[in-house]
Structure 1
Amino acid sequence: MTLEQLIAQARTALETAIATRQREQDALMALRSDENLTEEAVQQQVAARDAADVEVTRRQTALDQLEAEQAREEELAQLQARTVPAATRAPAYDQVARVGAEERTYRPDQDRRGRQFERDVAAAFLGDYEARDRLARHMAEERTLRGDQLERAAGTGAFSGLVVPQYLTDLYAPAAAARRPFADACRHHDLPAQGMTVNISRITTSSSTAIQASENTGVANQDVDDTLLSIPVQTIAGQQTLSRQAIERGAGVEPIVLDDLFRRYATTLDSTLLNQATTGLAASATTITYTSGTPKVTEAYPQVVAGLAGVESAMLDQASGENIVVMHSRRWYWLQNGLSSTWPLISQPGIAAQMGGTNLGASYGSGVRGVLPNGTPVIVDNNIVTNLGASTNQDEIYVADRNECHLWEDPSAPMYIRAEQPAVASLGVLMVVYGYAAYTHSRYAHAQKITGTGLVAPAFTGV
């Protein structure tokens, strides 16, 4: 691996560490706004944020060292070019006369069919440095004996067996995935170790109070009653069978396939929370219809505020105030495209009156993308479907109290099984990724969704 490749890897690792640190900081800020927070929880999150800071520093130091090493190498190369006179430089290998003959690397009298050469070509492709050295010596020998022919008569196309293609396996392009932006914004709990159902008691008939009619008369009386909310524990899983040849003779095949399975797991979990029939956020939310033949940003924003009002009306004193708006990326960019000369009548903390919200500049899936003019954070999630409505081109905007979007996950999820015995007769290796999760948005029926013809595929016209 070259120094440039190591530097590229170090930069990627640093970017990942910075994104992780930002997530921990966002989580800390969200925790501090929780009225029910404990000092222990805050200290734990501070420790997680500080650990992420340490990782950023470590990655930055590693990158600085590599870049310093690269700069030194370039400096020495320039210095050598200046200090060594052309007249005294050693002649090239193929420009010096030699007495006698060195034994060729590949000798026709010992290997008439060139099998050793073919094996070296294959081994060099798989990273065998000794094979690469032998091929390099062979090319040097060819240039010495037939250099004028190689340089004047033929290009690389004439040596398809010698000019070996290189595969940049460290730059492989994984299949894109929507992953889990909304799931990461939900209120997380550890899944209990046993059982396939999570039960929550909901007080559905409350006690009562009233003005006493007169002294020594009966006061209001209403028996409290609850209803059990049963939440199923669901299993998300996927599998892939790889040949042992692919694993043992390939370059990074197994971790690449595992990474893809993990990405599909995250996407399925998030899509389930949003789109599952009956219990998903889309199914459990109360509908606010936004109808418009020519949708405008200035029309859509009031619908979101109406959704926030609906959330608080449903939650009453149980509202945490940590509301979130969840939308597709196309809707988020449509909101950004809107231009207006009008400003909010009531300003919000941290947002200037002349701004229609704030874009935090975060990348997809790394937490809050921005803040609306009333201070509500926005989660962008491309698991939101875009084929709704009569013309199958509408998406929806969801408004919810983050603390009432509950998600239970096993702390170890997703789990990984690597089984060799089931497919041993065919030299196969079975890989299975799975995990358990439970969720509910209905402990209090509170979520709102904006839907209708005003949310057709956006036209970016500045209005």
Structure 2
Amino acid sequence: MAGIDELIASIEVELEAAQKRRTKAAKEIELILAKAQQDGRSNLSVEEDERVAELFAARDQAKADIEGIQRKLENAQKVKAEEMERAEQAKQVRDTQTRKPAYDQVARVGTEERTYRKDTDPLGKNFLMDVCRQFMFQDVEAAHRLARHMQEEQVERAQYLQRAVGTGAFSGLTVPQYLTDMYAPATAALRPFADVCNQHPLPESGMSVNISRITTATDAGLQASENTAVTEQNMDDTLLTVPVQTAPGQQTVSRQAIDRGTGIEDVTMQDLFNRVATVLDKTLLTQAVTGLTNVAQNNTYTDASPTGAELYPKILGAAAGVEAALLAMGRPTHAVMHSRRWYWLSSQMSSTWPLINWAGIPPQAAGVADPSSSYSSGPRGVLPCGLEVIVDNNIPTNLGAGTNEDELYVVPASECHLWEDPNAPLFIRAEQAKADSLGVLLVAYSYFAYTFGRYANGMQKVSGTGLVTPAF
């Protein structure tokens, strides 16, 4: 049934691509209309009208494609169901009423244990010793066990052995599966903050995103008397240009590792994707001039013996700063902090509580933690003022004069703008570049643009000696 399964998989990929085209067209239409609204224009420009018409046509075509693809997928699934039914019928055994042979004339097939098993050789010691004995001493029994192991591998994991030629000449180089299952990927800080930013699709072309900011607003005032001049102030804007940046990573893997290893390419690419996600998030937080730490208005917390009860008002002060800067254009939604700061806050004990708690927060609590949440999986909890806590270990912990401070950011998610390619991160697999050394070059990269600067002081942070390495 591999043929119909592959067909269904390809149709599902086709359906996903059509759904993405429809979503992308709708999002771009929203952006064009939102820009006109922000500019105070009642009509779209000629270019915008033409682009909106093109996008509506693309959206409608994508919707039609989706309907057709869904019908095709339904038919393919019906074919698969029929094939499965025929296969089940073929497995049915009916009594032919023939005389059974005598007991000693019946062939029986039983089960045989694997040569190398996790219960008898958990660390692979016997496997490695047999490899050494075969190649160093031509041990016949070791060679026999390795040959039997390779026969077992050909039955149970043939897909890995088909990639290499002359497997018999390398007996034992295919590692038992239970040993490869022990693989532990490298840890990565990933992108907790980037995931809560206001996401936008990256424009299809160009190396910058341009945003119009109203820097001089209109004015209104009381009229001195009838028929006298009314207050007037010409509105003016300033162009905010956001550069498109690239977050890439590469790794050269030997051809032998890919051909003869188990999932080497998948493991390497996943690790590269994790590095791309980490560098993107770290760029949003710490990049010179435009990073969150450099854009945010500072609220200093200075204390040689910091406590959670003293830090909490500073967080509220930062939230007040966000609201004062944005007014009706947004509100503070998230407190972004290092994991050590979150656990330190969680460790603080108090006999007093805030006068005002957010709905759903117990009255005698300094916040609520989500027990189901883990790192980079969404908010870790909620503070009494309603700020959702995002734990992000891309926040530096070597700040301040003592190089032992971290920072805490209070942000409105709606004003943390991040443009990304919806298909990112992208992947390149190049063999020609390293062909002379039997190397395969793996490259992962992602295009992105971001800004936190649409409104002055719209981002706030808390820093200072009160945020030194916490003592538990």
TM range (shorter): 0.5 to 0.7
- The 8 Å contact of residues 323 and 332 in structure 2, kept in 1 or not, is answered as no
1:215 Cα deviation from its structure 2 partner: 1.0
Alpha-carbon distance, 1:317 to partner: 1.6
- Give yes or no for contact 2:421–2:446 (8 Å, CA) kept in 1: yes
1:344 aligns with 2:332: no
Structure 1 distance, partners of 2:336, 2:352, is 25
SS, match of residue 171 in structure 1: coil
1:433: Cα distance to partner? 0.5
**Matched residues in 1 for 2:412 and 2:334: separation?**
6
Q: Shift of the alpha carbon at 1:170?
A: 2.1
Does the CA-based 8 Å contact 1:388-1:394 persist in structure 2?
yes
CA 1:125–1:214 in 2, change beyond 3 Å: closer, same or farther?
farther
Q: Does 1:454 align with 2:466?
A: yes
In structure 1, distance between residues paired with 2:148 and 2:213: 66
The CA distance in 2 between the partners of 1:166 and 1:359, in whole Å, is 39
1:171 is matched with 182
Q: Pairwise mapping of residues 33-432 of structure 1 onto structure 2 (< 5 A)?
A: 113=138, 118=143, 121=146, 124=149, 128=153, 168-319=179-330, 321=331, 323-361=333-371, 362-432=373-443
Deviation at 1:425, TM superposition (A): 2.1
For the residues of structure 2 that align with 1:256 and 1:359, how far apart are their CA atoms?
33
Q: What displacement does 1:114 show?
A: 5.4
Q: Where in structure 2 are there 5+ consecutive unaligned residues?
A: 1-36, 38-111, 113-136, 158-171
TM-score (norm 2): 0.64
Partner letter of residue 448 of structure 1? Q
Displaced runs of 4+ in structure 1, greater than 6 A? none
Question: Are the aligned partners of 2:333 and 2:386 in contact in 1 as well (CA < 8 Å)?
Answer: no
Give the number of equivalent residue pairs: 320
Q: TM-score, normalised by structure 1?
A: 0.66
Distance change >3 Å, CA 122–CA 442, structure 1 → 2: farther
Q: For each residue in 1:339-387, what CA deviation from the matched residue of structure 2 results, as whole angstroms up to 9, or x when unmatched? A: 1111211232111211111001211110000000111110000000000
Distance in structure 2 (CA, Å) of the matches to 1:271 and 1:127? 46
Contact 1:413 1:434 in 2 (8 A): yes
Which amino acid in 1 is paired with 2:271?
D
Task: Tell me the SS of whatever aligns to 1:283.
Answer: helix
- Alpha-carbon separation, structure 2, partners of 1:241 and 1:368: 36
Instruction: Give 1:128 shift.
Output: 2.3
Aligned to 2:105: none
Residues 416-450 of structure 1, C-alpha deviation per residue, up to 9 Å, x if partnerless?
01111111222111111011000001111210010
Cα 1:375–1:113, aligned 2, differ >3 Å: closer, same or farther?
closer
Displacement of 1:117:
5.3
**Shift of the alpha carbon at 1:241?**
1.0
Root-mean-square deviation (Å): 2.5
Partner amino acid, structure 2, of 1:441: F
Going from structure 1 to structure 2, the CA distance change for 1:173 and 1:126 (only over 3 Å counts) comes to: farther
Q: Which amino acid aligns with 1:214?
A: S
Quote the Cα distance in structure 2 between the aligned partners of 1:291 and 1:179. 30
Q: Distance in 2 between matches of 1:126 and 1:243?
A: 26
- 1:126 and 1:251 in contact (8 A); partners too: no
Distance 1:130 1:413 in 2: 37
1:127 Cα shift? Answer: 6.2
Q: Identity of paired residues, percent?
A: 57
Q: Deviations over 1:10-54 (max 9, x none)?
A: xxxxxxxxxxxxxxxxxxxxxxxxxx9xxxxxxxxxxxxxxxxxx
Q: Is the 8 A contact 1:322 1:403 kept in 2?
A: no
Cα offset, 1:125, TM superposition: 6.9
Query: Which letter does structure 2 place at the counterpart of 1:359?
Result: A
Deviation at 1:118, TM superposition (A): 3.3
Q: For structure 1, list consecutive stretches of 5 or more residues without a partner in the other structure.
A: 1-35, 37-92, 94-111, 133-160
State the secondary structure of the residue aligned to 1:411. Answer: coil
